[in-house]
Structure 1
Amino acid sequence: MDFISGDQITLTSGEQTATIATVGAALREYVVGGREVVIPFPADELPAAFHGMVLAPWPNRLRDGKYTFDGEELQVPVSEPGRGTALHGLVSWANWSVDSVSETAVTLAYELPASPGYPFQLALAITYALGEDGLTITTVARNVGARALPYGLGFHPWFAPGGTPVDRCTLQLDASSRVTVDDRLLPTGSVPVDGDFDLRAAWSLDGVAFDDAWVDVIPDGQGRSWARLGWADGSTVEIWAGPEAKAWQVCTGDVVEGVHRAGVAIEPMTCIADAFRTGDDLITLEPGAEHTFVWGMRLV
Structure 2
Amino acid sequence: MLSYFWFSYATSPAPIRRADYGVSVNTAESSAVPAPSGRQFRISSGEHRATITEVGAMVREYTVAGRDVFVPFAENEPAPVFNAAVLQPWPNRLRDGAYTADGVRHQVAVSEPDRDTALHGLVCWYRWTPVDVADDAVTLELALPAQKGWPFQLVLQARYTVSDDGLEVVVRARNVGTGTAPYGVGFHPWLSTGGTPLDECTVSLDATTHVTVDDRLLPTGTEPVAGPYDLRATRSLAGLDLDDAWVDATRDDSGLSWARLGRPDGTTAAIWMDGSMDCWQVCSADHIDGYERFGLAAEPMSCVADAFNTGERLVRLAPGDEHVVRWGATLL
TM-score normalised by the chain length of structure 2: 0.89
Which residue of 94, 99, 104 corresponds with 2:136? 104
Which residue of 281, 285, 289 corresponds with 2:313? 281
- Give unpaired runs (5+ residues) of structure 2: 1-32
Which residue of 15, 22, 25 corresponds with 2:54? 22
Residues in 2 aligned to 1:185 and 1:104: alpha-carbon distance in whole angstroms: 38
Which residue of 169, 173, 178 corresponds with 1:137? 169
**Partner residue, 1:73:** 105
Q: Which has the higher strand share?
A: 1
Residues in 2 aligned to 1:120 and 1:141: alpha-carbon distance in whole angstroms: 12
**Partner residue, 1:183:** 215
TM-score normalised by the chain length of structure 1: 0.98
Determine helix, strand or coil for the equivalent of 1:48.
coil
**What residue identity is the alignment partner of 1:108?**
L
Residues paired across the two proteins, number:
300
**What residue identity is the alignment partner of 2:70?**
V
**What residue identity is the alignment partner of 1:188?**
T
The structure with more radius of gyration: 2
**Partner residue, 1:233:** 265
Determine helix, strand or coil for the equivalent of 2:199.
helix
Deviations 1:229-257 (A, max 9, x none): 11112211121101121210000111113
Tell whether 2:188 aligns with 1:156: yes
CA contact (8 A) 1:196 1:203 kept: no
**What residue identity is the alignment partner of 2:141?**
A
**Partner residue, 2:96:** 64
Identity in percent: 54
Determine helix, strand or coil for the equivalent of 1:126.
strand
Residues in 2 aligned to 1:193 and 1:152: alpha-carbon distance in whole angstroms: 24
**Partner residue, 2:199:** 167
Q: CA RMSD in A?
A: 1.0
**Partner residue, 2:16:** none
**Partner residue, 2:159:** 127
Residues in 2 aligned to 1:116 and 1:19: alpha-carbon distance in whole angstroms: 32
Detail structure 1 runs of 4+ shifted over 4 Å in the superposition: none
CA contact (8 A) 1:49 1:257 kept: no
Residues in 1 aligned to 2:278 and 2:236: alpha-carbon distance in whole angstroms: 24
**What residue identity is the alignment partner of 1:179?**
V
Determine helix, strand or coil for the equivalent of 1:50.
coil
Residues in 1 aligned to 2:63 and 2:327: alpha-carbon distance in whole angstroms: 17
Residues in 2 aligned to 1:297 and 1:159: alpha-carbon distance in whole angstroms: 9
Residues in 2 aligned to 1:31 and 1:219: alpha-carbon distance in whole angstroms: 25
